[in-house]
Chain A
Amino acid sequence: MDISKDILLEIYDRMVTTRFFSERINEFFIKGIMHGTTHLSVGEEASGVASCMALDKGDYTTSTHRGHSHAIGRGMEVIKIMAELFGKVTGCSKGKGGSMHLADFDKGHLGSNGVVGGGFAIATGAALTQKMKDTGKIVLCFFGDGASNEGSFHESLNMASVWKLPVIFFCENNLYGVSTPVSKSMNIKDVAVRAKSYGIPSYIIDGNDAVEVYKTTREAAKYCRSGQGPVIIEAKTYRYLGHSKSDECEYRCAEEVNRWKKKDPIIIFKNYLIENNIANQIEIKRIEDKALKEIDLAVEFAKNSPNPPLNALTEDVYA
């Protein structure tokens, strides 16, 4: 499978945008200038972004509490995401959702979710629509390793498999659910093993390799589109920062973090682009500069945007 230069560079662009975005948000929380909480994807940019980039226009995504990479991966406007985290009326959810509630229905992004496991059944239902209306579109459902221990995971996979619904259940396995390692929350090493009990195919991939993530997702999407039912992809990855704001990470050792930092998804992908003569240092630098500038502008935009008016308080409860 050849991937066009345009797509590869767009993946790189959205990955570094996610990285810079997350680092900036982390700063804001450390300085205490941001209200609420956040879950950052630093270290997980390849799995979150390259998978979204493998979708076609009109396909859908459901995301998790750790959803900035998915929002950016789906091409949501960074200014609107930033403004949302600042709680401003110009945000994608008019300032009412915050970090865990980013959505863009026009782009097929059905939203991140504050409830772990909240996306499984939503994705299943969205896939049911595609099947009933014969749209040829599919749904990509992100979830964490920890989320696969929710009952909704098992109920949704069973339903999607027996009805042969076009949904990719995409696990970003970062080895922990908050402080709890996979080894203490399930009796298996790989979440993908669970596919067996639903009679569906699964892949286990290096989630820090953007090319592998992209190719596998394309292949799985093709399978789903052909009407054969759901697929699990398990992407092994790692988060560098704490679970959310104020996490001392006492449950894991610095050595483990450093080991993963040596497999940084952005550096791996950058090297791939250069070694394969897809982009040179200057082009790479240009993408990075552009991404940084975009974040700066987004921060400016968000800071200068107004709060929602007080009468917005009771708006939008009902349609």
Chain B
Amino acid sequence: MLDINNLHVKLEDEDRTIVNGLTLNVKPGEVHAIMGPNGSGKSTLSYVLAGRAGYEVTDGSVTFKGEDLLEMSPDQRAAKGVFLAFQYPIEIPGVVTMQFLKVALNAQRKARGEKELSTPDFMRLVKDRAAKLNVSQDMLKRPVNVGFSGGEKKRAEILQMAVLEPSLCILDETDSGLDIDALRVVADGVNALRSPDRAMIVITHYQRLLDYIVPDHVHVLSKGRIVKSGDKSLALELEKQGYAEFDKSAA
């Protein structure tokens, strides 16, 4: 589904390489966890996959469902099925969450040549998904992320994901800032979306999330490249030992 090959990314206005020869292959149905020290390039990788401006790909390729992902605009990528749950979700004053969800869903459907969802059908869908994620009707009436607590923002991201039903879900530290109950709610929400034709990349610092969302593969990212891959036991190992060893090997 997703083929990242020898990817090199630098900042557009600085001569600084952040992603440095990263290769990753994600198949439908798989869950990949990416762990790694602060500043190792995890969020940068997720932004590059989502199409954020400010980064320049200097080498390598990214293929998504057989097409060159890097050639697509962010909205085209979303319509194709890419979804990024932001590490720091952005507040948008004046745009009501409910309206935003509707515009987004229908824009994607339109881009895929599908029929737009009627308002009652849409309301039913959102109500159902929101209830499962403990997102209140009040939050849906408020502007996107404005005044949401840290945990509410993360839940709102997962709600968007549950409504948009993407085929590649990238979760960037969705667990940080969540209390223990919220973590379970979010993990249940994510697990509900697991399916044989949907893949997930879960970026996290903590083994705890991976107890709930059990990954097929765990990768350690250091200085912009994957320095070790393994199964879920690698996460446990990291929890005990930290990253010191991998930092050395990446140097």
**A and B form one complex:** no
Hey, which bits of chain B sit against chain A, CB under 8 A?
A: none
